[in-house]
Amino acid sequence: MKPFQLIDKSTGGSLKNDILSGITVALALVPEAVAFAFVAGVSPIVGLYGAFMMGLITSIFGGRPGMISGATGAMAVVMVHLVQQGNTLGGSESMGLQYLFITLILAGVFQILAGIFRLGKFVRMIPHPVMMGFVNGLAIVIFTSQLGMFKRQGEWLEGNPLYVMIGLVLTTMFIIYVLPRFTNKIPAALTAIVVVSVIVIFGGVETETVRSFIQSNGGDGIQAGLPMFHFPTVAFTLETFQFILPYAFILAAIGLIESLMTLYLIDELTDSHGNGNRECIAQGAANTINGFFGGMGGCAMIGQSIINIKSGGRGRLSGITAALALLGFILFGSNLIEQVPIAALVGVMFMVVIGTFAWSTFKVVNKVPKPDVIVILIVTVLTVIFDLAVAVLSGVIVSSLVFAWENAKRIRARKYVDEFGVKHYEIFGPLFFGCIELFNTKFDVQNDPEEVIIDFKESRIVDQSAIECINKLTERYLKNGKNIHLRHLSPDCVKLIKKAEKICVVNVLEDPDYFVAIDNFRQAQNALN
């Protein structure tokens, strides 16, 4: 395991870049945490506490330096149903929040167990088309989530307020785009937020700020104290456990999938390698602590992670700085942060959308197999319509079925009869459930000679379906008074056959000189006669 490093110079990290990028991320975390708290049906401070604790714990103990965690929309859309049903079950408007906290504790335990049992490595099995669909869908989700900032009291902006909003957003995007062409010493996103804020504050420009955004959503502000320990006040009964169990499992699954896929994406951006299992444990610990300290929990945030990486943040210090800066905003700097224009933060997120979307998708559409294009579209659409977990799971299933179908068509058999009158079947391709029917058509049991050898030198037996197939093929030959022999099996295939020897009666000839074996078989048969 790589030793703990606040600043990872091997990936281009530095003290200045990590601190400045962390401050930039903290500014972007505020409206996101507030917005997702409203989505989940909880107080804004619960979302801010959740973002702070998730960010701090995963930055210190996680497996991917530079990756940012906090309150996320993917988990918030599940939490809202949990909170609503919790209010009904508990008979009080406040009980839904208590059920959320106890569910986060259980979800965190699930995530810790996933890390202990090393399930994080399964992210490597996610095909590239699924990854492309994931980032495309996520970019669309981030984009559409920002469109809500162009509304006031449920109505779209019109006239001068709309023009001012668009102008400030474009100004932010222009600074982020142009500044890196002149210097990389200061984060472009942070510079853009400061410049646009100065324009609004000192230029007397009327537009919505973080303060007005919170107030328009029923909040009073972001100032509060430190999060305090408390145990969720719910009845610990079987009914409670049955209620929170499915929610805990879904939240744990969504959190891990989004976190591990974000880790994989950051690995590609930084040309480095994170530790998925360690990240699972850190995410679980962070969610568990959120449950005990009144936060809404969360997972890795791809948008904020990309802001951090693009701003120069590479080490753990960037994430720690973001979390501590967010806490500082909550405790001391709420008046300053509440004056930041929403347009500046929207502009930052729009640049994240541009950087997140896999524009190469349009270039490869006519160059990659059609099934891969279909997978990209499926994952993109499902990410937008449902959530990340459903989209990724569906994409992996479709990709697996396509892979199985393509390999099922590749099973081949070369046939010949040698000078001893023995019929040989040389098999090419893996033998598994998908190609059983095609495999059976390769044999002519009625017209084959007395001795038949199936040679697996260029093949292997993959699963129980293949074993059962061979068992049935053996029965067919035996009923016709003929013998079947298997040759050139790999050690793992031999192991499979031996495990199934009670249901698969075959002669496994491990001696490569099979002619001697067949001669001995014939001599024994003559002796019996």
**pLDDT tens for the chain, residues 1 to 529:** 455 667 766 666 688 889 999 998 998 888 778 767 876 778 888 999 999 999 999 999 999 999 999 988 778 878 888 998 998 887 777 789 999 999 999 999 999 999 999 988 777 778 889 888 988 887 888 788 788 888 887 789 999 999 999 999 999 999 999 998 888 777 788 889 889 999 999 998 999 988 887 777 666 767 678 999 999 989 889 999 999 999 999 899 889 988 998 898 898 888 888 899 999 999 999 999 999 999 999 999 988 898 899 888 888 999 999 999 999 988 887 788 788 898 988 888 888 788 878 898 888 888 888 999 999 999 999 988 877 778 888 998 999 899 888 888 889 999 999 888 999 999 998 899 999 999 999 999 999 999 888 888 888 888 888 888 888 888 888 889 888 888 887 777 777 675 555 444 455 544 444 444 445 445 545 554 4
Of 345, 297, 331, the C-alpha closest to 29 is 345
Terminal Cα distance for the chain, rounded: 67
3-state secondary structure of 295: coil
b (16+ CB within 10 A) / e for 73-91: bbbbebbbebbeebbebbe
The answer to whether residues 277 and 115 touch, using CB atoms and an 8 Å cutoff, is: yes
- Model's pTM, two decimal places? 0.72
Of 443, 435, 525, the C-alpha closest to 484 is 443
Q: Give CATH 3.30.750.24 domain extents, the chain.
A: 412-528
- The number of residues making up the chain comes to 529
Torsion angle defined by CA atoms of residues 81, 82, 88 and 91, in that order, rounded to the nearest 10 degrees: -150
For helices 370-385 and 128-147, the axis angle rounded to 10 degrees is: 30
Residue 470 makes CB contacts below 8 A (sequence gap 6+) with 454, 461, 486, 497, 504, 506
**Which CATH homologous superfamily contains domain 412-528?**
STAS domain (3.30.750.24)
The dihedrals phi and psi of 506, each to the nearest 5 degrees, come to: -140, 160
How far, CA to CA in Å, does 436 sit from each of 119, 169, 412, 500? 31, 59, 12, 17
Q: How far apart, in whole angstroms, are the C-alpha atoms of residue 111 and residue 108?
A: 5
**H/E segment holding residue 447:** none
